Amino acid sequence: MLTIGETAEVLGISAHTLRYYEKERIVLPLRDAGGDRRYDESHISWLKFVIKLKETQMPIAAIQKYASLVREGEHTAEARVKLLAEHKRSIRAQLETLTAADEMLERKIAGYRTLIGSSR
């Protein structure tokens, strides 16, 4: 069992972020006898997934909805698949945008390198 500080360090996020995720009911840590938050391996695994969802621009409201569906149980599997499939489509669109931007930048850089090389 890890403290909030240890969990934050393991995940590379702040304790403030963990408190926010708890406030938003995205993660529900255990509590020790003194009331301090404790995180086990299942929390760490869940939070790694949540962090990936955030890194790929899933809105907090959608993450909250997904977390709620998970807590409700297996009968919500279809709704969870739908939510994740929608997010995957969003990621694919982001990838297409980034690939197009990367190709454009590569052409610009090559043009400048040619210009720099020809002016020497």
pLDDT in tens, 14-24: 999 999 999 99
pTM metric for this prediction: 0.84
Looking at residue 120, its pLDDT comes to: 65
Enumerate the β-bridge partners of residue 30: 38
Looking at residue 118, its pLDDT comes to: 77
* Residue-wise pLDDT tens digits, 42-58: 999 999 999 999 999 99
Q: Give yes or no: residues 35 and 85 share one domain.
A: no
**67 falls within a domain:** no
Residues 26, 64, 56: CA angle, nearest 5 degrees: 95
Q: Give yes or no: residues 1 and 47 share one domain.
A: yes
Taking CA atoms, 108 is separated from 43, 71, 96, 115, 117, in Å, by 45, 49, 18, 11, 14
Task: Provide the residue range defining the domain that includes 49.
Answer: 1-55
**36 falls within a domain:** yes
Residue 5 has pLDDT above 80, yes or no: yes
**Beta-carbon count within 10 A of 47 CB:** 22
Contact 37, 4 (CB under 8 A): yes
The CATH number linked to 27 is 1.10.1660.10
